[in-house]
């Protein structure tokens, strides 16, 4: 088996947090239990997707706040929060609060662009400002500034009777977001699938999340997923102050079958086969190109990953769990990822 130039340093996983609309509590509890299991298995990070008006996590910051109180070591990330739904100032407060509660383990991933189905939801989301909303990278830049401690307002000081250092007066006003979590600004990620987003994230000192979807932007060029993703990673690092040391995490769908039952293996194979046709060529006006789901034993998966041009450039992964599987399936997949595939890729849990 060929070696990878970048040994796998951080092993993570990503879940959508699927739930039944008739019983959402059970699904959210399942997500929290999966994150707890990930910590016990030694995973470095657990990430949650963000879904609005669907049966997936609509409030990842709230879910990760709960997870922060049920775990002690594992890093907690969002992949990703679509900022078109958010006020950057209010989100900065929420992110800083959860980072403080977690002891500095939060890794917020974000993206920009108009919300999906914007014409149908604009009046509910922005009834007075729908035509004036800016869904460009400026929305990310504002969030970055607020999280990193840029002034929000020129007003600061104390109104009324001044308190003490141990008991600040309730009316003390600061010109930066409170609470301020100093390390959080270095743990912000941009989830991008285009060359432009990779460059922008690098130029602004963010980390870069790349998933199982990229844009095949050159209609004349080859539609090779791994090579396109590789070009994004290299462009990101070329524009980042940290260069080759800039953090990139890859998020392919990877399903090990080492301890799976025959029924599970058949179901996993069927799931991947149904999704395979979309990987043959770019899809839709945006020319989205999807990576095939990887299913097999850990030995087989390690060989395929080591042969993946983009995987060879990263030392962090957040393997995506399939959307529609059962809780026991996720337990089996996570266990094999941590005990079989991770070690086959050179990963070792801390401690």
What does the pLDDT read at residue 150? 94
Name the pLDDT band for 1 (thresholds 50, 70, 90): very low
Contact 338, 42 (CB under 8 A): yes
Domains of the chain: 10-152+176-344 (3.20.20.30)
pLDDT one-digit tens code per residue, 217-251: 998 887 899 999 999 999 999 999 999 999 999 99
β-sheet bridge partners, residue 78: 48, 108
What does the pLDDT read at residue 168? 57
β-sheet bridge partners, residue 334: none
Q: Where are the beta strands (DSSP E) in the chain?
A: 10-15, 45-48, 75-82, 106-111, 157-158, 172-173, 189-191, 207-210, 213-215, 248-250, 254-256, 288-290, 294-296, 316-320
pLDDT above 70 (res 165)? no
Q: CA 243 → CA 204, 205, 206, distances in Å? A: 12, 10, 12
pLDDT above 60 (res 347)? yes
Contact 234, 195 (CB under 8 A): no
Name which residue leads in pLDDT, 161 or 194: 194
Residue 303 has φ and ψ, to the nearest 5°, of: -65, -45
What does the pLDDT read at residue 173? 81
How much is the mean pLDDT over the chain? Answer: 94
Query: What span, in angstroms and rounded, lies between the C-alpha atoms of 72 and 294?
Result: 31
Sequence-separated (6 or more) residues with CB below 8 Å from residue 133:
84, 126
pLDDT one-digit tens code per residue, 255-304: 999 999 999 999 999 999 999 999 999 999 999 999 999 999 999 999 99
Alpha helices (H) along 108-194: 118-125, 138-148
pLDDT one-digit tens code per residue, 25-79: 999 999 999 999 999 999 999 999 999 988 899 999 999 999 999 999 999 999 9
pLDDT above 60 (res 164)? no
Query: What span, in angstroms and rounded, lies between the C-alpha atoms of 118 and 114?
Result: 7
Query: What span, in angstroms and rounded, lies between the C-alpha atoms of 82 and 342?
Result: 30
What does the pLDDT read at residue 3? 43
Task: State the virtual CA torsion across 313, 318, 319, 324 in degrees, nearest 10.
Answer: -150
Contact 76, 68 (CB under 8 A): yes
| 121-138: average pLDDT | 97
Name the pLDDT band for 2 (thresholds 50, 70, 90): very low
């Amino acid at each position: 088996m060929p070696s990878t130039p970048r040994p796998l340093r951080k092993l993570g996983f990503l879940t959508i947090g699927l739930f039944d609309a008739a019983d959402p509590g059970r699904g959210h509890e399942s997500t929290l239990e999966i994150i707890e299991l990930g910590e016990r298995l030694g995973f470095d990070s657990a990430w949650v997707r963000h879904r609005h008006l669907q049966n997936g996590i609509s409030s990842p910051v709230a879910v990760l706040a709960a997870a922060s109180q049920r775990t002690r070591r594992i890093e907690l990330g969002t992949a990703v929060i679509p900022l078109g739904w958010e006020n950057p100032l209010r989100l900065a407060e929420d992110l800083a609060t959860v980072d403080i509660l977690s002891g500095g383990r939060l890794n917020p991933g974000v993206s920009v662009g108009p919300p999906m189905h914007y014409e149908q939801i604009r009046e509910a989301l922005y009834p007075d400002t729908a035509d004036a909303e800016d869904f460009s990278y400026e929305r990310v830049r504002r969030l970055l500034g607020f999280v990193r401690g840029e002034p929000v307002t020129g007003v600061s000081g104390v109104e009324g009777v001044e308190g003490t250092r141990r008991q600040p007066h309730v009316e003390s006003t600061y010109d930066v977001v409170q609470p301020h979590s100093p390390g959080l600004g270095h743990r912000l990620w941009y989830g991008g699938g285009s060359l432009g987003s990779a460059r922008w994230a690098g130029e602004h000192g963010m980390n870069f999340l790349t998933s199982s979807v990229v844009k095949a932007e050159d209609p004349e060029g080859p539609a090779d997923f791994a090579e396109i993703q590789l070009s994004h990673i290299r462009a990101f690092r070329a524009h980042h102050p940290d260069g080759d040391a800039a953090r990139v995490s890859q998020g392919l769908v990877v399903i090990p079958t080492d301890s799976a039952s025959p029924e599970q293996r058949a179901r996993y194979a069927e799931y991947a086969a149904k999704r395979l046709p979309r990987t043959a060529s770019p899809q839709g006006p945006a020319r989205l190109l999807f990576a095939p789901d990887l299913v097999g034993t850990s030995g087989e998966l390690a060989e395929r990953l080591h042969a993946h041009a983009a995987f060879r450039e990263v030392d962090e992964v957040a393997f995506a769990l399939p959307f529609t599987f059962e809780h026991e399936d996720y337990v089996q997949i996570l266990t094999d990822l941590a005990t079989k595939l991770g070690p086959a890729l050179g990963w070792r849990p801390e401690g």
